[in-house]
Amino acid sequence: MRYRIATDLVRAGRNRARNEGGVNPPVHRVSTLILERVDQLYDDDNVKTYGLDGMAVHEALAEALVAIEGGAGVTFAPSGLGACALPFLAFCEAGSHALVPDCVYGPTRRLCDGLLARFGVETQIYDPRIGADIASLFRPNTRFVWMESPGSLTFEVQDVPAITAAARAAGIATGIDNTWSAGLYFKPFAHGVDVSVQALTKYQAGHADVLLGAALARDAATHARLRRVNKELGLGAGGPDDVYLCLRGLRSMPVRLAAQAASALKIATWLRARPEVAQVLHPALPGAPDHDLWARDFTGAAGVFSFVLHPAPEARVTAMLEGYRLLSMGFSWGGYESLIVPCDPQLKRTVARPRFAGPLVRLSIGLEDADDLIADLEEGFARLTGQRAE
Ligand SMILES: *Cc1c(COP(=O)(O)O)cnc(C)c1O
């Protein structure tokens, strides 16, 4: 019997024997595992020999992640960024060329410009809206195409099937940062991607209390490559308490995300009608940039989006941002609490710089009542324009 995802996420990873009868898996704090026989000590293909590979709770979380996105296996990393690094290190070597979209999450760009460059991997930034024309950038030494859709901060939706078709025809591996959809609303493996990365820190953990990442592999050979990098770097599988919290968060993720997405769309619609707002960048909003591509490939939306203000004095924008009662300023997103950040200082673009009318602001909508958040935003606009709120 095939169930829908909310049902699968309630049941995933439940294994009576492994859980010793419990609904939830045990949390083992383990570095050393004690083995009975000499031959087992060196048989780590078949026997757990050391805590770095993870224990029951890691297996349960991996099963839940595969229930969402499919694939042949999960490689964990201690953060979402660490998980983003895995496929680059798995597919590239000194002398390789990799392609990265201009809308990429800033720290992933820093990885490319820093560590990867120092070890002889050249990354080239491409326009996230390039589609099938990505093929024109392929070189004999191109080994990997990275995607992120929608893009961090600016929410461009990439034509993933067009890009993966071009890459596959040229024998080039592909990976995607699929954090925004939480894996629920976009299925990378159905669109030809080899590696799907989740910053589990965001919606999966969902409570702003865990840092964790995962790289899911399309097939066993790709999974083996990712695992090898994890092992060579000694990244481990995440602390057992963090992994447990993430699994606990996952159980309610479809419900939380549905509520957060509905509030976000209501707020985005309200923002679009405001005179202070030049543009709303939310792909699920009809008429917003890339809405058609989103509607073609996604089955839902997250609660994170941006909006562009009309030009305003910096001090006014600061007063708007610093005075909210409910919206807090802070990085990350996907937790139960709403967050707001001005984006311009971290907007690093090199080939496809969007021309925005004024300051760019990102919202992560939490579980507060949407109308309370709208009232908070409205007071903020009064601070922005110097008018008193009604
Ligand atoms: C937050 C984030 C990451 C990194 O996750 P961390 O756990 O904070 O390292 C990667 N990609 C995207 C799109 C993110 O939003």
Q: What is the pLDDT of residues 342-352, one digit of tens each?
A: 999 889 999 98
Q: Which atom of ligand 1 is nearest to the CA of 199?
A: 5
Displacement of CA 24 from its chain's centroid (Å)? 26
Look at residue 366 in the predicted model and tell me its pLDDT: 98
CA of 342 to the centre of ligand 1 (A): 17
Cβ of residue 211 lying under 6 Å from some atom of ligand 1 = yes
Q: What percent of the chain has pLDDT over 90?
A: 94
What residue's CA is closest to ligand 1, atom 4?
80
Instruction: Note whether 49 and 43 are within 8 A (CB).
Output: yes
Cβ of residue 198 lying under 6 Å from some atom of ligand 1 = no
Tens-place pLDDT, residues 45-97: 888 899 998 999 999 999 999 999 999 999 999 999 999 999 999 999 999 99
CA of 199 to the centre of ligand 1 (A): 5
In this prediction, residues 129-154 reach a mean pLDDT of 97
Look at residue 389 in the predicted model and tell me its pLDDT: 52
Cβ of residue 80 lying under 6 Å from some atom of ligand 1 = yes
Q: What are phi and psi of 186, to 5 degrees?
A: -140, 130
CA of 36 to the centre of ligand 1 (A): 41
Instruction: Starting at the earlier edge strand, list the strands of the sheet with 142-148.
Output: 73-77, 213-217, 195-199, 173-177, 142-148, 97-101, 122-126
CA of 204 to the centre of ligand 1 (A): 12
Q: Is the peptide bond before 254 cis (omega within 30 degrees of 0)?
A: no
Cβ of residue 123 lying under 6 Å from some atom of ligand 1 = no
Cβ of residue 346 lying under 6 Å from some atom of ligand 1 = no
Instruction: Note whether 218 and 190 are within 8 A (CB).
Output: no
Cβ of residue 279 lying under 6 Å from some atom of ligand 1 = no
Look at residue 352 in the predicted model and tell me its pLDDT: 86
Look at residue 91 in the predicted model and tell me its pLDDT: 98
**Cα angle 360-366-367, degrees, rounded to a multiple of 5:** 155
Hey, CA dihedral for 194, 213, 229, 116, is it positive or negative?
positive
- pLDDT greater than 90 at residue 1: no
Mutational test site, ligand 1, from 79, 81, 207, max ligand atoms within 8 Å of CB: 81
- pLDDT greater than 70 at residue 233: yes
Cβ of residue 81 lying under 6 Å from some atom of ligand 1 = yes
Q: Which atom of ligand 1 is nearest to the CA of 211?
A: 7
Look at residue 388 in the predicted model and tell me its pLDDT: 63
Cβ of residue 335 lying under 6 Å from some atom of ligand 1 = no
In this prediction, residues 153-169 reach a mean pLDDT of 98
CA of 81 to the centre of ligand 1 (A): 6
pTM above 0.95, yes or no: yes
Q: What percent of the chain has pLDDT over 70?
A: 99
Q: Which atom of ligand 1 is nearest to the CA of 84?
A: 10
CA of 176 to the centre of ligand 1 (A): 12
In this prediction, residues 36-53 reach a mean pLDDT of 90
Provide the 3-class DSSP secondary structure of residue 381: helix
CA of 193 to the centre of ligand 1 (A): 19
Rg of the chain over all Cα atoms, to the nearest angstrom: 22
Look at residue 45 in the predicted model and tell me its pLDDT: 82
In this prediction, residues 27-44 reach a mean pLDDT of 93
Tens-place pLDDT, residues 180-214: 999 999 999 999 999 999 999 999 999 999 999 99
Cβ of residue 152 lying under 6 Å from some atom of ligand 1 = yes
Q: How far apart are CA 33 and CA 59, in angstroms?
A: 16
Mean pLDDT, the chain, integer: 96
Q: How confident is the model at residue 2 (pLDDT cuts 50, 70, 90)?
A: confident
Look at residue 205 in the predicted model and tell me its pLDDT: 98
